[in-house]
Amino acid sequence: MNIPRTTSLDRLAFDNLSLRSLPIDPETRNQRRQIRGGIHARVKPTPCPAPTRIVYAEEVAALLGLDRAACESDRFAEIFAGNVLLPGMEPHATCYGGHQFGSWAGQLGDGRAINLGEAIAVDGSLQMLQLKGAGETPFSRSADGLAVLRSSVREFLCSEAMHHLGIPTTRALSLCLTGRGVWRDMFYDGNPEEEPGAVVCRMAPSFLRFGHFEILTARRETALLKQLTDFTIRSYFPESAAISDDQERYLHWFTEVCDRTAALVVHWMRTGFVHGVMNTDNMSILGLTIDYGPYGWLDSYHPEWTPNTSDAGSRYCYRNQPPIAQWNLIQLANAILPLIGEAAPLENCLQSFAGQYTQRAEAMAAAKLGLKTYDQPLASALFEFLGGVETDMTLFYRGLADLPVTDMRANALLDTLYKPDTDAIEALQVWLDQYAAVLGQQSVDDRSRSTLMNATNPAFVLRNFLAQEAIDAAATGDFNGIHALLNASRHPYDRLPPDSPFNRKRPDWARSKPGCSQLSCSS
C-alpha cells in the first residue's frame, strides 16, 4: 500500500466552531432517537471494506491546501470514505426537520450525512467537510445511512458543474467507492438490487437548512432557536451581525436570506436546472444549492417538467421553483416568528421577495437575449414559442447568439428543434422577426449581444443523459466518463466544437430511459 509519511493531509487543521458553539446531545451511542435541547449528535462513520477513490476535484482540494500527492494517496480514500479520522476531526450529525411536499414531516436530520469538522481553508475561512453515505446516524430513521454509486456520481458532478456555472452551491471534494454493496429498489416495484456503495465528501461553510430552525420552533425550544439564529448571523452574515437592535438584526438577516434565495432560483431558471426536491430541509440558509437528488436539466424547454418520479403532482417542476422558494421562506418566517414577536415585518420581507425575484428574473431574461432592457411582449412570445414547439433550451440560446441581426433565419436554428416541421419553423421565424425588431429599437450591436448572451447562457450543462452515460460506464469500472464531464463542466460558457459529445440534443433513446428524463428518489 502506498502510504507516504506525511502529505498535505497532515497539515489540514480544524476549528469546529459550530460544534463548540451549539449544544451537543449527551447520548453518544449511535441509536436512532428524537433529540431535544441539542443541534448536534456525535456519531462516527461506519468503516467500509475497500475504500477507493474514483475522482476528486482539484479546485476544492486546492482551497484546502491539499496537493496531488495527498489526494492520490490511499490515505485520502481511507479518510474520505469514512475509515480514518484526521486529528481535529469530530464527526457528528445534526438535527433538523422539514416540510416535505407541503406537509410538516417532524424530525428528519442528517440521516446519511456526517460532518467531519470545519477545515481551516487556505484563505482562512472555515469549511465544513461532510461525508454523504458513510453509515447510520441517530437520524437515519428506517434507512441505512448509505448511498449508491449512481446518485453519488450525480451529486459529485453536479456540485462542481454548478460552481463553475457561477451558481451558489455546496462543493464536492471527492467521490469514493466503499466496496460495500447497497440494496436499493430503484423503481419501488419490489425488486431490490445490490448496487455499489459510494461516499461523496461535500464541502460548504455550513450545511444549515431552513429545517434546522423549523424543528426548534415546532418543539417550542425558543432559547435554542435564538442561540442557533444568533450563531448563524454572527458566523455567516457579518452585515446583519453589525446591527445592534435585536428585531432589526433578525429582519435584516431574514431579508438577506430571501434575497439570496431569490438570486439562487434565478440562476436555476437561467440555466434550466430543476432541483427536484425543494422541501424546506433541502433549502440552505446560506442560499446554496444543496442536496443533489433527483435533480435534472431541461433538454427541451418544458416548464412543467419535473425529474422526480415521486413528485406526481409536479409540485417541484421547473416553473414552480420561484413560488415554492417563496412558500419555503414563509415556513422559515413562521419558524423565526418567536424571535420577532410580530408577523407584520416578516410579511413585508416576504412581499418584497416577489418584487425582488421579478426584478432579477427580468434582468436575467434580458441578458439571455442580449438586450439592454427587458422587453415583456418579446419574452412572453418566446416562452410561448419555446413551450409550444419542442426546442432544446441550451442549444437554442447559444445558436441565437450567433445569428446576425440582419439575417435572422429560422433555418439556421433547425438543429435546436426536436421536431423541425413546417409549423415549428414558421413559429420560430415569427418570433425571430420580432426579436430583430426589438434589437433594432434598442440599438444592440451583434458583438456586444453575443458576448452578453454567451456569458449568460451556458454551452455546457450536465444533461441528464450525459450523467447517465458516465454512470453506466462507471458501473463497469470505467471512470473516464466522469473525468470527461468534470473537465467539460469547468468551462461551461466556452464554445463547444460542433462535434463535441457534449454539444448535442437529448438523443431519442434517452427520452424515456430511467436516469435520463425521470429520476427515482431511491439513492
Q: Give the residues lining the site for ligand AMP (CB under 6 A).
A: 108-112, 139-140, 143-146, 277, 281-282, 291, 293
Is 281 considered catalytic here? yes
Residue number with CB closer to ligand AMP (272 or 293)? 293
Phi, psi angle pair for 93, to nearest 5°: -115, 160
* Nearest-approach distance from CB 282 to Mg ion, in angstroms: 5
Taking Cα atoms as reference points, which of 337, 370, 358 lies closest to residue 444? 370
Marked catalytic residue, from 25, 110, 281, 311 = 281
Residue 269 CB neighbours (<10 A): 22
Stretch that binds Mg ion, among 2-10, 162-170, 280-288, 464-472 (CB under 5 A): 280-288
Residue number with CB closer to ligand AMP (268 or 431)? 268
256 binds, among Mg ion, ligand AMP, none (CB under 5 to 8 A by kind): none
256 contributes a contact to Mg ion by CB under 5 A: no
Q: Which grid cell sits at 441?
A: 429599437
214 contributes a contact to Mg ion by CB under 5 A: no
Residue number with CB closer to ligand AMP (306 or 416)? 306
- The CB-based long-range contact list for 410-417 (8 Å cut-off, 24+ gap) reads 415/505, 416/391, 416/392, 416/505, 417/389, 417/390, 417/391, 417/392
Residue 130 CB neighbours (<10 A): 23
Stretch that binds Mg ion, among 268-276, 285-293, 324-332, 364-372 (CB under 5 A): 285-293
Residue number with CB closer to ligand AMP (72 or 144)? 144
What is the bridge-based pairing of β-strands 113-120 and 126-132? antiparallel
138 binds, among ligand AMP, Mg ion, none (CB under 5 to 8 A by kind): none
Stretch that binds Mg ion, among 277-285, 375-383, 422-430, 490-498 (CB under 5 A): 277-285
> Is residue 425 packed enough to be buried (19+ CB in 10 Å), middle (13-18) or exposed (0-12)?
middle
Residue closest to ligand AMP, measured at CB: 111
Torsion of CA 355, 101, 225, 31, to 10 degrees: -160
Taking Cα atoms as reference points, which of 331, 339, 41 lies closest to residue 211? 331
143 binds, among Mg ion, ligand AMP, none (CB under 5 to 8 A by kind): ligand AMP
As beta bridge partners, residue 14 has: 119
Residue number with CB closer to Mg ion (202 or 302)? 202
Residue number with CB closer to Mg ion (35 or 386)? 35
Contact status, residue 225 vs residue 97, Cβ threshold 8 Å: no
* Nearest-approach distance from CB 426 to ligand AMP, in angstroms: 44
> Is residue 442 packed enough to be buried (19+ CB in 10 Å), middle (13-18) or exposed (0-12)?
middle
Residue closest to Mg ion, measured at CB: 291
* DSSP code of residue 503: S
- Give the residue, chosen from 94, 282, 456, 468, that forms a contact with Mg ion under the rule CB under 5 A: 282
Sequential DSSP letters for 8-58:
GGGG--B--HHHHHS-B-S--S-------S-SEEE-PPPP-S--EEEEE-H
Stretch that binds Mg ion, among 282-290, 347-355, 402-410, 504-512 (CB under 5 A): 282-290
* Nearest-approach distance from CB 291 to Mg ion, in angstroms: 4
Q: How far apart are CA 297 and CA 316, in angstroms?
A: 13
145 binds, among Mg ion, ligand AMP, none (CB under 5 to 8 A by kind): ligand AMP
- Give the residue, chosen from 155, 291, 299, 375, that forms a contact with Mg ion under the rule CB under 5 A: 291
Residue number with CB closer to ligand AMP (282 or 356)? 282
* Nearest-approach distance from CB 148 to ligand AMP, in angstroms: 9
- Residues engaged in binding Mg ion (CB under 5 A): 282, 291
Residues with a known catalytic role = 281
